[in-house]
């Protein structure tokens, strides 16, 4: 079921979300399904639970190719519970981001090119991996939401840069 987004000024978007401690529950499965439904309904590439008013450390993401990130490989629909990111030593890259929680705005945001992650799945089993490029960017954007950080907090420049694509929310 598609859920509504909290408004940009809602205090929950600025709070530290709580770890999930109960796994494989009907409530957790329903939350993740609602998050995917909401992400896909908005043509997004990712979503964090606090954006729909649930202050838990849950993120989802998926990318099926297309013009949002030309050349980036598709990412299957993935839910990560209690994710932790470890940046790879290496370059920081700027690229365009938008956010369901910051409607109508897109900016160049600096992110680590690659990150390793550790998390749990819906059953509480440990999962880990490494992501690069657009995949790593989505992970950093969504985990930021769990710590009360929005992409507009990470801008390295003072003036909004010209936007090369029509404004649309995506995460
Ligand atoms: Ni976002």
Catalytic site residues? 142
pLDDT of amino acid 71: 86
**Token pair in block for residue 166:** 């029509």
Close Cβ partners of 49 (under 8 Å, ≥ 6 residues apart): 17, 31, 35, 55, 56, 57, 58, 59, 146
Handedness of CA 124, 21, 80, 90 (dihedral sign): negative
The pLDDT averaged over each successive group of 10 residues in the chain (171 residues) is 97 98 98 98 96 98 88 94 94 94 95 97 98 97 98 74 46 66
- For residues 83 and 135, what is the distance between their CA atoms, to the nearest angstrom? 14
Determine the distance separating the centroid of ligand 1 and the alpha carbon of 62, expressed in angstroms. Answer: 13
Determine the distance separating the centroid of ligand 1 and the alpha carbon of 90, expressed in angstroms. Answer: 24
pLDDT of amino acid 167: 42
Determine the distance separating the centroid of ligand 1 and the alpha carbon of 133, expressed in angstroms. Answer: 17
- For residues 147 and 105, what is the distance between their CA atoms, to the nearest angstrom? 21
pLDDT of amino acid 171: 66
Which residues crowd ion ligand 1, with CB under 5 Å? Answer: 99, 171
Determine the distance separating the centroid of ligand 1 and the alpha carbon of 23, expressed in angstroms. Answer: 24
Longest dimension (CA), the chain: 45
């Amino acid at each position: 079921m598609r859920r509504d987004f909290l408004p940009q000024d809602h205090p929950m978007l600025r709070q530290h979300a709580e770890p999930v401690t109960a796994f494989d529950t009907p409530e957790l499965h329903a939350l993740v399904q609602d998050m995917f439904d909401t992400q896909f309904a908005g043509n997004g590439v990712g979503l964090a639970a606090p954006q729909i008013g649930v202050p838990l450390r849950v993120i989802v993401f998926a990318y099926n190719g297309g013009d949002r990130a030309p050349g980036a490989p598709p990412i299957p629909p993935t839910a990560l519970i209690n994710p932790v990111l470890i940046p790879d030593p290496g370059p920081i890259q700027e690229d365009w981001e938008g956010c369901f929680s910051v409607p109508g705005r897109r900016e160049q945001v600096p992110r680590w090119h690659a990150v390793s992650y550790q998390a749990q799945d819906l059953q509480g089993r440990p999962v880990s991996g490494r992501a690069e490029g657009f995949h790593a960017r989505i992970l950093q954007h969504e985990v930021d939401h769990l710590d009360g950080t929005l992409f507009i907090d990470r801008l390295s420049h003072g003036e909004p840069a010209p936007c090369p694509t029509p404004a649309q929310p995506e995460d």
